């Protein structure tokens, strides 16, 4: 069972890293907590090689890649044209801040921005920095002190974004002295509707809370700079709001004179089947944050777009860092956008999304453990029944069974398995992955979560 669960090479590399890596001892605790309840510890995987729709682990086993570098590879692994563009830029410029590629990229992003209304672009390195810079720009532009963010949102792991995100109350422990400018609002989760309400009523309540409760009881409207929202809450569990919710937020922002900031770090550049997820609701934000997909999974790259009056001349809104907008990052982004347009990748993504909708349509009826399947484009989440703690083990067991069948998906600390296939994944590979997932769910549904008689084993801190 041990070899089955974790191969020899993986085990020994994890054991080697355990004393040196941040959090190296944490896996022990997580594994012990699982084992204490009779479940298998979460399985870890180390990528040895990545190409197209697949990755191979250190034991040489091939997996269909639904993990996608945490939703970062829109065109699959190691796209040769993006690699080529990156290598050419590195060879020509090495690293200099003052390279020419920034300008055509900013111009292209302006043309592609929702409604072509966000012409200014600020280059950042990570999504975290980009969200923090966007919030700062909003505070400086409005000369106000507060922003509104939503329950179970995730915006990053920086000091500012930790305080803004709300996916786990544990995240603020130790940071109490730093908080202050964030107001949290409820989000209409489709699976956590208060008893007696329909989803539509719950959504109306959330909008009412935003527009009436907050200004009356929490903070004066004229001290609120912006509402920050992920158009689909990804890390929090792939929650997809109804388009009316985003429309409602836009309308409230207009009435209250608040800015709307869309965090499209994960949803942007095609993940939901449109270039930007806000397009599903036909909404134009005032500021939009981008990252992940934009550089094709090859280079760190992020930034934010904004209205001309917000970013054209906002001297206090300083941001950026040495490696913001590297030549390689800009080359990767230009090439990624070129391929997405040239190969009509968004149409491919929508086709795959339709296949997924058909393949998963009956899962919540067919399998007792599945409570909901939801998705927008290729942001797909499957939720599992049970108390929060138990649901996590059910989800992890499904992920384990998927790994046994050669499919790698994401399951973090929520009772969900999340899928982020490449936008151009071969349809037959995609369907094969979904069918293996259905088998995995069926196995856990029939046998119960994978429990085990587990041998003592080495540990590491590679993501699980
Ligand atoms: C919506 C969203 N915003 C911001 C971030 C942070 O981006 P990064 O990890 O590049 O700092 C993430 C990362 O998952 C994200 O999903």
Q: Does residue 152 surpass a pLDDT of 80?
A: yes
Radius of gyration of the chain (CA): 22
pLDDT (average), residues 414-440: 97
Residue-wise pLDDT tens digits, 195-247: 999 999 999 999 999 999 999 999 999 999 999 999 999 999 999 999 999 99
Residue 265 CA to ligand 1 center (angstroms) comes to: 6
Q: 127, 238, 278: which to mutate for ligand 1, most atoms within 8 A of CB?
A: 127
Residue-wise pLDDT tens digits, 130-143: 999 999 999 999 99
Query: Which residues form the pocket of ligand 1, taking CB atoms under 6 Å from any ligand atom?
Result: 126-128, 131, 154-156, 230, 234-235, 263, 265-266, 291, 302
Residue 230 CA to ligand 1 center (angstroms) comes to: 10
Name which residue sits closest to atom 13 of ligand 1, judged by CA.
156
Q: Delineate the domains of the chain, giving CATH numbers in brackets.
A: 26-77+344-447 (3.90.1150.10), 80-342 (3.40.640.10)
Q: State pTM to two decimals.
A: 0.95
Q: Does residue 162 surpass a pLDDT of 90?
A: yes
Name which residue sits closest to atom 16 of ligand 1, judged by CA.
266
Look up residue 172 and give its two tokens. Answer: 């603020």
CA dist., res. 112 & res. 279, Å (int): 12
Q: 292, 298, 324, 463: which to mutate for ligand 1, most atoms within 8 A of CB?
A: 292
Residue-wise pLDDT tens digits, 42-99: 788 999 999 999 999 999 999 999 999 999 999 999 999 999 999 999 999 999 999 9
What's residue 136's pLDDT? 98
Residue 299 CA to ligand 1 center (angstroms) comes to: 15
pLDDT (average), residues 6-34: 84
What's residue 170's pLDDT? 80
Neighbours of 325 (CB within 10 A): 23
pLDDT (average), residues 404-426: 94
């Amino acid at each position: 069972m041990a070899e089955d669960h974790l191969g020899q090479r993986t085990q020994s590399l994890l054991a080697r890293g355990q004393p040196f890596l941040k959090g190296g001892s944490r896996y022990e605790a997580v594994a012990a907590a699982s084992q204490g309840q009779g479940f298998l510890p979460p399985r870890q995987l180390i990528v040895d090689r990545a190409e197209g729709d697949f990755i191979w682990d250190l034991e040489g086993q091939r997996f269909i890649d639904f993990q996608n570098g945490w939703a970062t590879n829109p065109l699959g692994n190691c796209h040769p044209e993006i690699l080529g563009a990156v290598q050419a830029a590195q060879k020509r410029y090495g690293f200099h801040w003052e390279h020419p590629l920034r300008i055509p990229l900013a111009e292209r992003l302006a043309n592609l921005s929702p409604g072509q209304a966000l012409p200014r672009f600020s280059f950042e390195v990570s999504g975290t920095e980009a969200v923090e810079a966007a919030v700062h720009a909003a505070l400086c532009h409005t000369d106000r002190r507060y922003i509104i963010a939503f329950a179970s949102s995730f915006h990053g792991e920086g000091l500012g974004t930790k305080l803004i995100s709300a996916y786990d109350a544990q995240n603020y422990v130790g940071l109490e002295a730093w908080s202050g400018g964030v107001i949290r609002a409820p989000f209409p989760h489709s699976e956590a509707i208060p008893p007696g309400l329909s989803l539509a009523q719950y959504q109306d309540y959330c909008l009412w809370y935003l527009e009436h409760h907050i200004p009356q009881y929490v903070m004066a409207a004229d001290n609120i700079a912006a509402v920050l929202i992920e158009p689909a809450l990804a890390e929090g569990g792939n929650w997809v709001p109804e388009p009316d919710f985003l429309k409602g937020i836009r309308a409230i922002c207009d009435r209250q004179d608040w800015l709307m900031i869309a965090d499209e770090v994960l949803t942007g550049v095609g993940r939901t089947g449109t270039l930007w997820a806000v397009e599903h609701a036909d909404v134009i934000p005032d500021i939009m944050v981008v990252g992940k997909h934009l550089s094709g999974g090859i280079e760190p790259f992020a930034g934010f777009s904004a209205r001309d009056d917000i970013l054209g001349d906002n001297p206090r809104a300083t941001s950026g860092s040495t490696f913001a907008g590297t030549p390689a990052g800009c080359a990767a982004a230009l090439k990624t956008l070129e391929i997405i347009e040239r190969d009509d990748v968004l149409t491919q993504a929508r086709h795959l999304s339709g296949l997924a909708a058909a393949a998963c349509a009956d899962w919540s009826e067919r399998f007792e453990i599945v409570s909901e399947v939801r998705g927008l484009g290729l942001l797909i989440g499957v939720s599992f029944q049970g108390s929060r703690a138990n649901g996590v083990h059910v989800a992890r067991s499904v992920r384990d069974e998927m790994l046994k069948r050669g499919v790698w998906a994401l399951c973090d600390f929520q009772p969900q398995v999340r899928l982020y296939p490449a936008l151009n994944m071969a349809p037959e590979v995609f369907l094969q992955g979904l069918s293996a997932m259905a088998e995995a769910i069926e196995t856990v549904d029939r046998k119960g979560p994978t429990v085990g008689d587990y041998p003592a084993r080495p540990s590491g801190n590679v993501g699980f």
